[in-house]
Amino acid sequence: MITLKKLTTKKEMQAFVKFPFTLYKNNKYWVPPIINDELEVLNKDLNPAFENAEATYYGAYKDSKMVGRIAVIINWYEVQTQKIKKIRFGWFDFIDDLEVSKTLLDKVFEVGRQNNLEFAEGPLGFSNLDKVGVLTSGFDVLGTMATWYNYEYYQEHYKQLGFEVGKEYVENTFPFSNVNPQFFEKAGKLIRNRYELKPINFTNTEDVMPYVDQMFDLFNETYSVLSSFIPVSEKQKEYFKKKYLYFINPEYIKFIQDKDGKLITFGIVMPSFSEALQKAKGKLFPFGFIHMLRAKKKHDTILFYLIGIDPKYQNKGVTAVLFSEYFKSLKGKPIETCIRTPELANNIPVRQMWKHFDPQIFATRCTFVKNIE
């Protein structure tokens, strides 16, 4: 018999966060989070995403042992402002037992009915900057810190429980050797002169700070056309500055201004911390921090985490300027592999942006949806 329990105490939330460490023990493709960071993300008193959202956390137990977990999420901005009557769910992990997954998802529908919502979708986080999607291919590829990993049986559970595919995502990779510097230098110079653009590069994280608010404003403008987009708030801007910016190499942050000094393009690239996170085993101290610092300084794999372009400059070739600047920063480093974090499969303009690199899809994922009856 499966018992469902709402988790609220510090000890219970630690069990919630640590459950995947047991489920994926000895799996060489799963990338563990930092436990304290994960607890902070899920804490309504610490994560500003809870300005517009609420969440409850549940564990499924069999013979007093946790065998599954789920976060049941309502983003009220999405429900009230966008009029999308959706209940979200995320951090959804379970053993290969249909009774377990059904028990957890039944709670999602129960909460949805209580709040007069119409359908459920997941796995999703609180907003667009959180992880998304069930892995549907690429189970034998090392995950990234920007994605959830799962076993192949997950998708079968959704299908057996009557869910349908919602949004589809692809993850791509290409070798750094595919970059043609002559093409991007020539095209970048042409576009830069035509529109009087000014690239901004950094060697110090403190120098990035004055531009970060503008970057998030541009992020909101760039991605607002996507379905269910939830804008980044002022509190979230401050939160992300403090929490993440110092983990990003300053030379991997690129901004482009127009002739009037307005930010029109940004790019954020991150070193791959996957192997470092595996070595850290969920803890920064005493030795996990050392692994993270080593990965930041020396790495052969990078993630193109986020790119934003002012809608007025989209389809005008400004990415040539951006990629030209990145090549200048990366060419002296031992970079071998470039990874793109999940992108909507039907976002053709974004996929076209990368065509000169001959990228290959190495993983796919999707959300699943089901109406609340």
For residue 313, give the 3-state DSSP assignment: helix
The pLDDT score that the predictor gives to residue 59 is 98
The pLDDT score that the predictor gives to residue 348 is 84
Q: Where are the domains of the chain?
A: 3-170, 174-363
pTM, rounded to two decimals: 0.94
Low-confidence ranges of the chain (pLDDT < 50): none
CATH code, 3-170? 3.40.630.30
How many CB atoms sit inside 10 A of residue 176's CB?
18
Which fold does the domain 174-363 belong to in CATH?
Answer: Aminopeptidase (3.40.630)
Q: What share of the chain is helix, strand, coil (3-state, %, to 5)?
A: 40, 30, 30
The pLDDT score that the predictor gives to residue 145 is 93
The pLDDT score that the predictor gives to residue 245 is 83
Q: In sequence order, what DSSP letters do the residues of 219-287 get, joined into one string?
A: HHHHHTTSTT--PPPHHHHHHHHHHHGGGS-GGGEEEEE-TTS-EEEEEEEEE--HHHHHHHTT--TTT
The pLDDT score that the predictor gives to residue 247 is 81
Same CATH fold, 174-363 and 3-170? yes
